[in-house]
Amino acid sequence: MRLNKLNIIGIFMMLFAILLFFTNFLDNIILTLTYPFLEGSSEGKSVILFMVMGSLLFFYPLFNENGTITKKMSLLKFDGQKYLKLTILMVFITYIFIILLEIWIRVKIGVSLFTIFVSFNQSASSTSIVHSHVLKSVLGYFVSSSGIYVPSHINTGSSLAHYVSPVSFIAVIAFPLVYIAGIISLNGRRDLYKVILAFAITTSLIGMLDGGLFSAPALVGLSGLLGIYAIKTPFSPRNLIKPSVVIIILIIIRVSIGLIGSNADFHEITIINPSENIDLNSYEVLSVEENTDRLIVKLPANINDKDLLLKLIEDLKGKSDGFFISWNIFSWNPS
């Protein structure tokens, strides 16, 4: 195919993704630039951003109404808007499925929905309704099983796979389906809209993989998808009112879950399959309840959520299968 300027940009983005993956001298700069919309603690999400967005910009001509792949697939009724609608629908369904998985894990084990779950299996992986890693664990399991090299500081979340229903493995088909429908939806649009859509599709895929519906990548991605879908010709700012309302509602729901789920009275930790040598002497324990397969510990609420979570991971790794911890949004300190 004849390369246009977007294809060339796509090539450079993919090459940059490879550079990020195999080197580390740009990690801090990229993490600083992308954190507001990716929430990444390693360069993993940045690598995905540049690779997937670059591939969308490079390969989209193959999927337009006269493209080689489209002809072979017999997609006779090409309509970019229709495929954008399909992309949005699949993304939303996947996000709802992720929330249901988070609920299912907690109902199965018998703990509150408003908890952070940390699983131990070689490495610690956490997940919650407001920031989910369940689909990340599924892909991480496949990556680990296939022997694909992943830098040790990039957490694939594979330790959570044991707790996720086998049904969740079906969800991996959502990623190629969203990608294909999304790349078709790029065509027939102005270059600026193609770039916005490529970015929105990529951040939506990242949100599906790491974070879920209420994460920054998901909200940024949905903003772009819904915004482009709502735009009419000629453009009017009023076109963006409905997409903006949807995103505002999602943010309100996210904050509401954080507030409703907060336990400001104490921290409750449910330790799954604890060993006999668990040492809680360094904690100010309010109460301990022992059951057959768990240990329920209550600690004072004045402990910072993040500090407590990190300390529990350090102290309980290798001494239990994992733990659930209640959260207190008022004590969380992101620093």
Q: Is the pLDDT of residue 333 over 80?
A: no
Burial of residue 62 (CB within 10 Å: 0-12, 13-18, 19+) is middle
Q: Can you read off the two tokens belonging to residue 309?
A: 């979570």
Q: Quickly count: other Cβ atoms within 10 Å of residue 101's Cβ.
A: 24
Helices (H), ranges, the chain: 5-22, 27-38, 44-59, 68-72, 80-109, 134-146, 174-185, 191-209, 216-230, 241-260, 305-316
Task: Give me the pLDDT at residue 168, please.
Answer: 75
Above 90 in pLDDT, residue 222? Answer: yes
CA distances from 247 to 17, 219, 220, 242 (A): 29, 7, 9, 9
Kindly report, residue by residue over 227-265, the tens digit of the pLDDT: 999 998 888 999 999 999 999 999 999 999 999 999 999
At residue 163, does pLDDT exceed 90? no
Q: What is the pLDDT of residue 44?
A: 85
Instruction: Give SS3 for 238.
Output: helix
Distance CA 64, CA 62 (A): 6
Render pLDDT for 45-87 as a digit per residue (tens, 0 to 9).
999 999 999 999 999 998 876 666 665 555 556 788 999 999 9
Per-residue pLDDT, 225: 98
pLDDT-based confidence at residue 323 (cuts at 50, 70, 90): very high
The band of 148, judged by pLDDT with boundaries at 50, 70 and 90, is: low
Q: What pLDDT, in 10s, does the model give residues 173-212?
A: 899 999 999 999 998 899 999 999 999 999 999 999 999 9
Residue 91 pLDDT: 97
**CB-based contacts of 124: which residues, under 8 Å, 6+ apart?**
118, 159, 313, 317
Q: Is 290 helix (H, G, I), strand (E, B) or coil?
A: strand
* More confident: 101 or 157: 101
pLDDT at 215 over 50: yes
The count of C-alpha atoms lying within 13 angstroms of the C-alpha of 119, restricted to the half-sphere facing its C-beta, is 21
What gap in Å lies between CA 322 and CA 126, rounded to an integer?
Answer: 9
pLDDT value of residue 302:
84
Convert the pLDDT of each residue in 19-47 to its tens digit: 998 888 888 899 999 998 998 777 889 99
pLDDT tens by residue, 250-303: 999 999 999 999 999 999 999 999 988 888 889 999 999 998 899 999 999 888
pLDDT bin (cut points 50, 70, 90) of residue 154 is: low
pLDDT of amino acid 335: 38
- At residue 155 the predicted structure's pLDDT band, cuts being 50, 70 and 90, is low
Q: Is the pLDDT of residue 334 over 90?
A: no
Average of pLDDT values for 308-315? 92
pLDDT band for 305, please (50, 70, 90 cuts): confident
Which of 68-72, 126-130, 221-225, 285-289 shows the lowest per-residue confidence on average (mean pLDDT)?
Answer: 68-72
**pLDDT tens-digit series, residues 83-100:** 999 999 999 999 999 999
Specify burial of residue 180 (Cβ count, 10 A radius: 0-12, 13-18, 19+).
Answer: middle
The pLDDT value recorded for residue 160 is: 82
Share of the chain above pLDDT 70, in %: 88
DSSP state of 13: H
Q: Which domains does the chain have, with CATH numbers?
A: 266-326 (3.30.70)
